[in-house]
Structure 1
Amino acid sequence: MSGDLPGRPAGGAELADRRVEREVSRSEVVFTGRVWDVVSEDVVLPGGDGPATVTREFQRHPGAVTVLALDDDERVLFIRQYRHPVRHELWELPAGLLDVEGEDPLAAAQRELAEEADLRADSWAVLADWFNSPGGSDEALRVYVARGLSSVPEGERHVREDEEADMLVVRVPLDEARDAVLAGRVHNPGAVIGVLAAWTARALGWTTLRAADAPWPEHPRLG
């Protein structure tokens, strides 16, 4: 019976992550990378027998934004990009790092959509926010839905290089994109979250969307 299970019944309104600052007695950058660093910190945690100090190593990341671009026929734009750490070409949504000093997340999303997909959009809204791997990274991500699409003029298009040079671009009906995610054929987290969030938001009449400039206090450097 459900009454015998651990955990008390609760309402959905109670599901809200909260920021908590624990005492950090030591912080050291142990690796400096081109895009992100690795940090080692000693943090004081409460315990059953009193506070305990533990060491945690994690990736300090600038964060990123993702764009689910939806055309007038409700098709989602995907790009296929090679990702060396997993040795796969992945179907992804346009996305990019928040690595331009002082750049607003929405402006970054608009820039990435133009650079990676040669697209602009008239309508922007927030679909979802998440931490990519909170046990080992402070990377915070936000996915936008972009509608009212139009092409960037030929003479203003970004010249793509490296992994982006040979990206294949396709547009897939939202229902079929959902099916690909649930069948385990799509693995990029931004694509998985973005597609499922967009499909759910559409089913709810898009009433769950947040303003494109909605606050993002969970981002470690934007809160």
Structure 2
Amino acid sequence: MTSLHAYAVLDRVERFHGKIFSVVTDRVTMPGGGQADRDYVRHVGAVGVVPLDDEGRVLLVRQYRHPVGKTMWELPAGLVDVAGEAPTSTADRELAEEADLRCERLDLLVDLHTSPGFSDELIRVFLARGLSSIPEAERFQRSDEEAEITVEWVPLDEAVAMALRSEITNAAAVAGLLATARARDEDWRPLRDPDTPLVR
């Protein structure tokens, strides 16, 4: 249902500006004539990739995430932080950088707002098939937390079970794995064109 009220932004104050996100306060008109301040994070956006091989396995990444203070199961993923780069190109880049893989085919699985209660972050999740390994000499040299990335091939149904057991809690990973399983079970009919325009 579409709201009948137009939530107009009357004023915006930037509280913090960083490379990945900014924190702002908007003064917004409310139904009934009032106004309210809303604090939130403005994010550059991201992509995630579900690499699926010919044996029905998906590649999962284990990476340390400082905000939650632990290593998590995730998908190869990264920021849309290169000016003018198409989301499909970002997906190809992240697949190479985090998984040492190339793909012949990308399909759109799902778009999701990861936490719309406090952030405008939008992540697009792709399915990658027709995978091949990048030769050792051509691989991206990882640094910082990414230097400790490990990867594991897991049967898709087991990865879904891991999500349902809360062993995978990264939102994009959970959504991507569930969408992949559903698309597989429907003979890939739910897959969409990877260049489908983003709806913000």
**Superposition TM-score tier, normalisation by shorter sequence:** over 0.9
The match for 1:35 is 20
- Secondary structure in 2 aligned to 1:165? helix
Residue in structure 2 matched with residue 96 of structure 1 by the alignment: 78
Rg larger for: 1
1:54 and 2:39 aligned: no
TM-score, L = length of structure 1? 0.86
More displaced, 141-150 or 26-35?
Answer: 26-35
Give the Cα separation in 1 of the matches to 2:151 and 2:6. Answer: 42
Match for residue 172 of structure 2?
A: 190
What are the ranges of 5 or more consecutive residues in structure 2 without an aligned counterpart?
A: none
Q: Would you say the 8 A contact 2:112–2:122 is kept in 1?
A: yes
Aligned 8 A contact 2:45 2:121 in 1: yes
Partner of 2:29: 44
Alpha-carbon RMSD across the aligned residues, in angstroms, is 1.5
5+ residue gaps, structure 1: 1-13, 219-223
Corresponding position of 2:7: 22
2: CA distance between counterparts of 1:99 and 1:170? Answer: 27
One-letter amino acid of the counterpart of residue 22, structure 1 = Y
Larger CA deviation: 131-140 vs 25-34: 25-34
SS in 1 for 2:85: coil
Give distance in 2, aligned partners of 1:21 and 1:76: 43
**Aligned residue-pair number:** 199
What is the rounded CA distance, in whole Å, between the counterparts of 1:31 and 1:21 in structure 2?
27
Partners of 1:205 and 1:21 in 2: CA distance:
41
Deviating beyond 4 angstroms after TM superposition, the runs of 4 or more aligned structure 1 residues are none
* Larger RCO (CA within 8 A; separation ≥ 6): 2
Q: Secondary structure at the match of 1:113?
A: helix
**Post-superposition shift, 1:21?**
5.6
Q: Does 1:111 align with 2:96?
A: no
Looking at structure 2, the residues matched to 32 and 213 of structure 1 have their Cα atoms a distance apart, in angstroms, of 30
